[in-house]
Amino acid sequence: AHAHTASGVWNYIQWLYAAGITFFVVRLLFRLWQLWRLTRKHRPSDHYQGTPVVLLPAPYSTFSFFGRIFLGSEGTLPSARAWVLRHEQVHIRQYHSLDILWIYLLQAIFWVNPVLVLYKRLLTELHEFEADARAAADSEVREYCSLLAKVALASADVPIAHSFSHSFILKRINMIKTHKTGLSTPRVAMLTLCATAFCYFIVSSEQIHAQQT
């Protein structure tokens, strides 16, 4: 009887885990579909250094996804356009969208692991710090920080994409002021690799513990 009860509980856990995976995969596919629909509805009207630029109506804010920049209202200002485009171009050239897509897939598969939530937030911050550092490298830091402050209230971000206006604007401004050189690409890659290895270790430990019990 005890073995039968344990088997029933284990089956319930498996069904619950599978339901969680299904939910997060469907959510990911829905967000990708939203992006696809956005690309179908709004065609590129310009190019920046060979990258297609799509103009978006309000209330969308500027973001990038793989090889395309979606320019929101904050990017249409003449004083901000060059910096915004330069910032988003860094995301594209460093394949940051691939990192974000990868972490979303990991979250869908290992959704019970809370470490991945922290990892996604840290990875997003690293991406923004690197893009800010490169975009402001040849510019006046004070002017660039002023630009970030102006777009801090932008809304309607696309969750799966890199938005120019994120909630941790103040942290980005402080990072630019204290670390003008920014994070180098090797350092970002190393931090990403360490975080991935740590997440893999946590997941493997949980699986081994589940098998032993």
Q: Where are the domains of the chain?
A: 2-212
Residue 47's Cα: distance from chain center in Å?
A: 23
**Sign of the alpha-carbon torsion through 100, 158, 115, 123:** positive
Confidence of residue 71 (pLDDT cuts 50, 70, 90): confident
Percent over 70 (pLDDT), the chain: 62
Q: What are phi and psi of 85, to 5 degrees?
A: -65, -40
pTM of the model: 0.70
* Residue 185: pLDDT over 60: no
Separation CA 2–CA 110 (nearest Å): 29
Q: Is the pLDDT of residue 169 over 90?
A: no
Q: What single-letter amino acid sits at 194?
A: C
Would you place residue 63 in the very low, low, confident or very high pLDDT band (cuts 50, 70, 90)?
confident
71-89 average pLDDT score: 77
Task: Answer positive or negative: Cα dihedral of 104, 108, 110, 112.
Answer: positive
Question: What phi and psi, each to the nearest 5 degrees, are found at residue 173?
Answer: -65, -45
Give 43-47 contacts, CB < 8 A, sequence gap 24+: 44/68
Q: How far apart are CA 204 and CA 212, in angstroms?
A: 12
Range in 111-115, 117-121, 154-158 with the lowest mean pLDDT: 154-158
Asked whether the predicted pLDDT for residue 32 surpasses 90, the reply is yes
Across the chain, mean pLDDT equals 76
